[in-house]
Structure 1
Amino acid sequence: MARCGCGGGQCDCSLEAGDNVIVSGSGSAANPYVVSADVPCASVRACLSGGDGISFDTATGEIGAHLSGQVGNNVSIGPDGGLLVPTAGGQVLTGCGLTGNGTAGSPVKANTQAWPYPCSVDTFGGVVACDTQGRLRSEPRGMVSFTNYGESRDYNDVPIPAAQNTVLDTFSVNITNPDSCRAAKVFTEREIDVWMVLPAGAAGGTGQGSDEMFYMRNTGSASMVGVHAQGTKFLTESFTLGPGATAPITLSATGGRGTGGAYYYSIVFLLRAMIISL
């Protein structure tokens, strides 16, 4: 503003300060005009606002980073006032079944072992699953159960039939797989006693199903009372019992080749079942 020939009353140069403006000096070369502006914070705050990631306090005028409060957010304000995202290395603590510290060179992973069997792990490997509480679980444990059934029935001196392997009576019992997870294989041991009386010269046979397991003829001159033999069979059932399923198993006592007035008066059934699920 100051120039030669202006100032000191030689010419009229005047300045007027407006809002928030300060003018100093006389306009001479030795004392030129100095114009300065002072903008108060209150005037600027109305032009500022917060946005994504920005926090703005209109009362104090403070601007800062807005940190999300969502669970799992690791961003924080460091001791030097800057934003800090901690690295995982050295901060991940692993326990049984896990290795690594979370760094690129040492990622967290399952602590597995080599498959020690000649078969394929893809085909025969078991399952590890997560339960509703976030805990690892292996496959259900195998189960073995044993059940014993028995019944004795008396009759009113029924003649031994002449036809071989005729059904005399039937015993049936329900077998239940106690494993609610796996199918089971059923093994049974079956015993049948048919008690007979063989008068002199009489004969008769007994068995299970189509298998005659005992036959006797009385060649003496007096009756034989309480004649019997315990016929036992160990069988693998032809069916697989599903998880928690129930199925009947039937034993048929048979008799045949009865002659000379031979008769039976009692039958004892025994069934022992082993149920295996693996």
Structure 2
Amino acid sequence: MGILARCQCGGDGCNCVVIAGENAEVTGAGSTLNPYVVSAVIDCEDVRPCLSAGDGIAYDSSTGIITACPSADTGNNLTYGSDGCLFVPTGAATVSVGCGLQGDGSGSAPVEANVATWPFSCGISANGGGVYCDPSTGQLKTDPPFRARYREVGINDAFAARTVSSAETTVDTISVSLANPDPCRAAFVIVHRTVDVDFNLPANGGAAASGINGDDVNYMRNSGSTAITAWHGQHSVMHNVTIPAGGTQAIPLNITVGRGAGGATYTRIQATIRAWLFSIPLS
């Protein structure tokens, strides 16, 4: 709206002529007390032909409403909120998960590992194993698997009678070579050794002893008046060893006889080494 107070006028009169154009109206006489008033009204129908829709804009020429135009393509998360404004949901459902994962990435269902409930009475923080990322493949990996091995070596030798010396003497040796198959952990090995030696003990003082790695495990003296033939007993010793990761260790069994007296002899040796290897976390 505009006001034209004077135009080449003198005194209180004015000789200006004001004509209303299209969509305009002129009122007043052009005087100071009654100036011209020009009013213009433009209807929506007059403006709509000047408007058009561009990228991201929707325009309805019949209603004159201009709105945003979200794409209908699959995967687009832009929508209208409850207040009518543009809205992108937090973590909208755009993720398709595979084995071991759950959730769709939305705020109410974030993507997370699909894990089982810890079933043990001990605490998970202090006792749970690790999960790691393989830098070469990007795959998840767990702690190295546990491994176990068993080896056994034995002899059963019979021969002509041999004299038992009074001094402890190693008369035979067997050995097992045990490799730790775990390249990551030291292995714990339980070793079981057995020895059985057949002795002939003459009457009235025939005596003999057998041992494992220098440790006597049995001794017998015949104090009777009749010879004892093929007297024997199986005796065992157990201990443990630790083999470093990826290492190999020989575990020997030295069979000894000694404390011979009264013409004692031996005619047979039976011996066994058994080894159980466990590759497990050692504490």
Bin for the TM-score computed over the shorter chain: 0.5 to 0.7
Does residue 126 (structure 1) correspond to residue 135 (structure 2)? The answer is no
Aligned to 2:272: 270
How far apart, CA to CA, are the structure 2 residues paired with 1:85 and 1:115?
37
How far apart, CA to CA, are the structure 2 residues paired with 1:220 and 1:79?
110
Q: 1:13-52 residue pairs with structure 2 within 5 A?
A: none
Does residue 171 (structure 1) correspond to residue 155 (structure 2)? The answer is no
How far apart, CA to CA, are the structure 1 residues paired with 2:113 and 2:72?
37
How far apart, CA to CA, are the structure 1 residues paired with 2:246 and 2:191?
18
Contact 2:196 2:271 in 1 (8 A): yes
Query: How has the CA–CA distance of structure 1 residues 140 and 110 changed in structure 2, closer, same or farther, with 3 Å as cutoff?
Result: same
Query: How has the CA–CA distance of structure 1 residues 173 and 112 changed in structure 2, closer, same or farther, with 3 Å as cutoff?
Result: closer
Q: 1:87-166 residue pairs with structure 2 within 5 A?
A: 89-103=92-106, 106-112=109-115, 121-131=124-134, 132-154=136-158, 157-163=161-167, 165-166=168-169
Letter in 1 for 2:267: Y
Q: Which runs of 5+ in 2 are unaligned?
A: 1-54, 56-69, 79-87
Contact 2:213 2:255 in 1 (8 A): yes
Aligned to 2:208: 204
How far residue 117 of structure 1 moved from its aligned partner, in angstroms, is: 5.2
How far residue 220 of structure 1 moved from its aligned partner, in angstroms, is: 3.9
How far apart, CA to CA, are the structure 2 residues paired with 1:231 and 1:143?
30
Identical positions, percent = 36
User: For structure 1, which segment, 95-104 or 178-187, has the greater mean C-alpha deviation from structure 2 after superposition?
Assistant: 95-104
Aligned to 1:255: 257
- Deviation string for 1:96-144 (max 9, x for gaps)? 4323332455432324566565655454321112344433232233223
Q: TM-score when scaled to structure 1?
A: 0.59
**Local SS of the residue matching 2:97:** coil
Letter in 1 for 2:210: T
Q: TM-score when scaled to structure 2?
A: 0.58
| Number of equivalenced pairs | 198
Q: Which of 187, 194, 198 is the aligned partner of 1:195?
A: 198
Q: Which runs of 5+ in 1 are unaligned?
A: 1-63, 65-77
- Deviation string for 1:212-253 (max 9, x for gaps)? 2222222344433322111122x231x312233210111122
User: For structure 1, which segment, 246-255 or 147-156, has the greater mean C-alpha deviation from structure 2 after superposition?
Assistant: 147-156
Aligned to 1:71: none
How far apart, CA to CA, are the structure 1 residues paired with 2:99 and 2:239?
43
How far apart, CA to CA, are the structure 2 residues paired with 1:145 and 1:175?
9
**Local SS of the residue matching 1:200:** coil
Q: Which of 200, 222, 241 is the aligned partner of 2:243?
A: 241
How far residue 187 of structure 1 moved from its aligned partner, in angstroms, is: 0.8
Q: State the Cα RMSD in Å.
A: 3.2
- Deviation string for 1:141-193 (max 9, x for gaps)? 32232222112345553322223x54333222211223344322111221111
How far apart, CA to CA, are the structure 2 residues paired with 1:93 and 1:80?
19
**Local SS of the residue matching 1:256:** strand
Contact 2:100 2:115 in 1 (8 A): yes
Aligned to 2:189: 186
How far apart, CA to CA, are the structure 1 residues paired with 2:157 and 2:225?
29
How far apart, CA to CA, are the structure 1 residues paired with 2:175 and 2:212?
13
**Local SS of the residue matching 1:158:** strand
